[in-house]
A and B are shown apart, each in its own frame.
Chain A
Amino acid sequence: MTRLKAGGPAIAKQGILVAFIVFMIVFSLMSDRFLSADNMMSVFRQSAIIGVMALGVTIVVIGGNLDLSVGSMLSFATVLVVDLHDKIGPELAIPVMVLATLCLGAVNGFLIGVLRLNSLIVTLGMLSVIQGLVLIYSGGQNVDIADQRGTWFAIFGRGAVFGIATPIIIFGALALLFHVIMSMTAFGRRVYAVGGNPTASVFSGIPRSQVVFTTYLISALCVAIAAIILGSRVMGSQNTVGQGYELQVLAAVILGGTSLLGGAGSILKTVLGVLMLAFIQNGLILMGQPYYTQWLVTWVVIIVAVWLDVAAKRGRLFSPIA
């Protein structure tokens, strides 16, 4: 994790990292089980779904937009893949679901990238629209897979390779892939440019609409992958399984220090944000706190982290301007 500090020398600029370490120390002091290998693995595994989605949303946010539709998109994709599993078999259900989810991403991308509508409004609207689609599709019934032991579909959520749970491997591999894309390819550079200054990007010959459109396709693809993990782990799905995920995902992205104004952020720091969120929730549960305390703690931490971050940038805690 020290490599992540390369961005700036001052410890104050790494508010998220400091907070992360503080939380790890506090939790390990308060619970013996917290630092155990078992617990660590289980936290990693549980964070994979939020994590995979957060990777896609990070790219959208770096490109200067928001995606709040990922929660109900997750419901959509999970219900679809689980329902189709028994109807057409997993080998067809997965590609059909991925294509359908990409279509939803394309709608976002078209409205926001091509028609230049406000992304907050569009994706907030899509949040409801997609949830409605799910309920229409399922008729309000929850879905599940009949033969839960016999299907190879189980590998994505329940399997393991060399003793490491598949969700962790998928999350890790995708994080690496997107990190490379964002930091080393021309496409990544263009996303940063469009998010940083859309006008200057157009003046540099960058196809802004196309770039924004692509970020929403990536976000939808991440949701589809998360849905495979989720559906495979649960072997069934409620209609509203993804409800509230959009805020957890956004929380992780913000904790990772990605600027909501666009143009700045990092995939690896989002991973850190995802883990921090997961450890906070896990730590609180181990300490015997009720489920809902995690919301209070999470968002207090986020607000303080953002404040410290802003304060570090302007060199003081309060400032009348900027």
Chain B
Amino acid sequence: MSSTQEAALRLQGIVKTFPGVRALDGVDFEVMPGEVHALLGENGAGKSTLMKVLAGMYQPDEGQIIIAGQPVRMTTPIEAKAQGVVLIHQELSLVPEMSAAENIYLGELPVKSFGRVDWKTLEERSNAILKRLKCSFRAEMTVARLSIANQQMVEIARALTVEARVVIFDEPTASLTDAEKVVLFDIINDLKARGVGIIYISHRMDEIFTLSDRITVLRDGAYRGTLITADTTEDDVTRLMIGRSLDLSRDEEPPSFGKTMLEVRNLTCPGLFEDVSFTVRTGEVVGFYGLVGAGRTEIAETLFGLRKAASGEILVDGEAVDIVSPRAAIAMGISLVPENRKEQGLVLQMNCRDNMTLPQIQDLTAGPFVSHGAELAIFDQYRDRLAIKTPSWRQSAGVLSGGNQQKIVIGKWLSMQPRVLIVDEPTRGIDVGSKSEIHQLLRELAAQGYAVIVISSEMPEVLRVSDRIVAMYHGRIMREFEIADVTEDTLVQAISGIKSEKTP
């Protein structure tokens, strides 16, 4: 890390803007050969954008990328790979029906005469890479039959087919078990020993402190500083990361909660969640926090009639109900803003207005016909209330930005005047600006007396919007926190399945 050594990769003053948002605002960053440099920031802080710039998927508007002393321009991921910069995706991008070997060399399969695939070479090379990664499976295996962790290994193996100068790991441990993590860390240390520069993106402090040499923090698209890991503490990093906004919270009045609107008693769905009990009052946001797969979405789907619970009771406004279908849920005043807006929330080729009125279209009729006036009235009302930016109601929902799409979905369910509003991952994949608007909105809804459930995998988000937080682990509620009593540590413990003395 001495200044005399040439950085494996250096970014200078990178600026990237998208319509309406400055995603990267003059970011400086460098990684030395043989260094693990962690990149930290809240979701939406600009990490993913920065990585896409590095991997040749985005072109920066301003600034320079310098690799081994040479300024470069990378316009495609293939060019980036040729420069020795490889990105290991957070989301797997494998072809499940093909073998591991085919996936590793996808697009550059070794060939013999007449364009026939040279299977022998392919498998030898692939198995050699897998062996280097200490993988226990053979390259001939079909990817679909591998565990998620092993699929991730294939993704990593793919990065190692070239002589990598810089390897970027984007949240690599999100779906790994502890044992698998150890293997991954060995691989990273091995790469490091060979002089490869590693950029490591993660939310998990413990991993970052175990692995990294330096830590760079981004916030709201801007560079906030670089710390030497050995000389720093988690507090320093957190302060840099969250900044003034740690108590982003509430300049609002202390909330006043009304009656219990939703009560769930001992709800069980074997294999998904067990013995789940909680209540939501009017005027209250209850945050459900946990890892992916902890059973939160499944509970929401059960409340919305998409799944059937094996046992347990659901009471809406004090009345025991049997929710057999989404229609039944809607009739009882339950609304669900689903986790995946493109697949579950919107009909993308349909226009904004029609998307918004879809759940109540049969009630907006005048005689046999849908009333355009009634539809437009609803659309206009929620477009204004949620500040949805679209040139016209005729615009198909698919062309809007993620934030505006999400607002359409929220508008769609708010316009149903729900008694209980469930919002699953309210801000996944949307820009910083819309994100904070949506957080604000959720707080306002509570103030207006809605009973709101927010499911989120982002700690800052649950901390910001919730009045109470339910921490889940492996389908069970581990602990419930009042927002005033929660600390990051206790929350992390609860969702990692670590029992604390307070757990019953």
Question: B344 near A184 (CB under 8 angstroms)?
Answer: no
Question: A184 near B369 (CB under 8 angstroms)?
Answer: yes
Among B108-116, B256-264, B273-281, B354-362, the one that faces the other chain is B354-362
Please pick, from B306, B325, B326, B346, the residue contacting A197 in the complex, using a CB distance under 8 A: B346
Mark B173-217 against chain A: 1 for CB-CB distance below 8 A, else 0: 000000000000000000000000000000000000000000000
A199 to B344, CA, bound (A): 5
Question: B327 near A186 (CB under 8 angstroms)?
Answer: no
List B residues 339-355 near A (Cβ within 8 Å). 343-350, 354
Residue with the highest number of chain B CB atoms closer than 10 Å, among A180, A197, A264: A197
Chain B's closest residue to A264 (CB) is B349
**Given A184-B370, A186-B365, A263 contacting B327 (CB threshold 8 A):** no
Question: B349 near A189 (CB under 8 angstroms)?
Answer: no
Please pick, from A190, A203, A206, A264, the residue contacting B345 in the complex, using a CB distance under 8 A: A203
Question: B345 near A196 (CB under 8 angstroms)?
Answer: no
**Given A185-B370, A189-B354, A203-B326, A197 contacting B365 (CB threshold 8 A):** no
**Given A185-B368, A263-B350, A205 contacting B343 (CB threshold 8 A):** no
Which of chain A's residues have a CB closer than 8 A to the CB of B350?
A: 192-193, 196, 263
Q: Does B475 make an interface contact (CB < 8 A)?
A: no
Which of chain A's residues have a CB closer than 8 A to the CB of B368?
A: 184-185
Q: Does B435 make an interface contact (CB < 8 A)?
A: no
Q: Does A46 make an interface contact (CB < 8 A)?
A: no
Mark A172-213 against chain B: 1 for CB-CB distance below 8 A, else 0: 000000001000111001101100110111111111000000
Q: What's the nearest-Cβ distance from chain A to residue B93, in Å?
A: 14
A184 to B364, CA, bound (A): 11
A190 to B325, CA, bound (A): 17
Question: B346 near A200 (CB under 8 angstroms)?
Answer: yes
Mark B95-116 against chain A: 1 for CB-CB distance below 8 A, else 0: 0000000000000000000000
A189 to B369, CA, bound (A): 11
A185 to B368, CA, bound (A): 6
Q: What's the nearest-Cβ distance from chain A to residue B398, in Å?
A: 10
Q: Does B285 make an interface contact (CB < 8 A)?
A: no
Chain A's closest residue to B363 (CB) is A186
Question: A200 near B345 (CB under 8 angstroms)?
Answer: yes
Which of chain B's residues have a CB closer than 8 A to the CB of A190?
A: 361
Please pick, from B325, B358, B369, the residue contacting A193 in the complex, using a CB distance under 8 A: B358
Which of chain A's residues have a CB closer than 8 A to the CB of B345?
A: 200, 203
Question: B330 near A205 (CB under 8 angstroms)?
Answer: yes
Which of chain B's residues have a CB closer than 8 A to the CB of A197?
A: 343, 346-348
Question: B349 near A196 (CB under 8 angstroms)?
Answer: yes
Question: A205 near B359 (CB under 8 angstroms)?
Answer: yes
Q: Does B412 make an interface contact (CB < 8 A)?
A: yes
A320 to B303, CA, bound (A): 43
Q: What's the nearest-Cβ distance from chain B to residue A212, in Å?
A: 15
Q: What's the nearest-Cβ distance from chain A to residue B256, in Å?
A: 32
Please pick, from B343, B365, B412, the residue contacting A199 in the complex, using a CB distance under 8 A: B343
A197 to B344, CA, bound (A): 8
A197 to B306, CA, bound (A): 16
Q: Does B338 make an interface contact (CB < 8 A)?
A: yes
Q: What's the nearest-Cβ distance from chain B to residue A190, in Å?
A: 7
Mark B365-376 against chain A: 1 for CB-CB distance below 8 A, else 0: 100111000000
Which of chain B's residues have a CB closer than 8 A to the CB of A189?
A: 354, 358, 361, 370
Q: Does B336 make an interface contact (CB < 8 A)?
A: yes
A180 to B370, CA, bound (A): 11
**Given A203-B326, A203-B336, A205-B327, A192 contacting B370 (CB threshold 8 A):** no
Which of chain A's residues have a CB closer than 8 A to the CB of B344?
A: 199-200, 203
Chain B's closest residue to A196 (CB) is B347
Q: What's the nearest-Cβ distance from chain B to residue A223, in Å?
A: 24
Question: B358 near A206 (CB under 8 angstroms)?
Answer: yes
Interfacial residues, chain A to chain B (CB-CB below 8 A): 180, 184-186, 189-190, 192-193, 196-197, 199-207, 263-264
Return 26 A-B CB contacts under 8 Å, by A number.
A184-B368, A184-B369, A184-B370, A185-B365, A186-B362, A186-B364, A186-B370, A189-B361, A189-B370, A192-B354, A193-B347, A193-B350, A196-B349, A196-B350, A199-B344, A200-B343, A200-B347, A201-B347, A203-B306, A203-B336, A203-B344, A204-B326, A204-B358, A204-B359, A205-B325, A205-B359
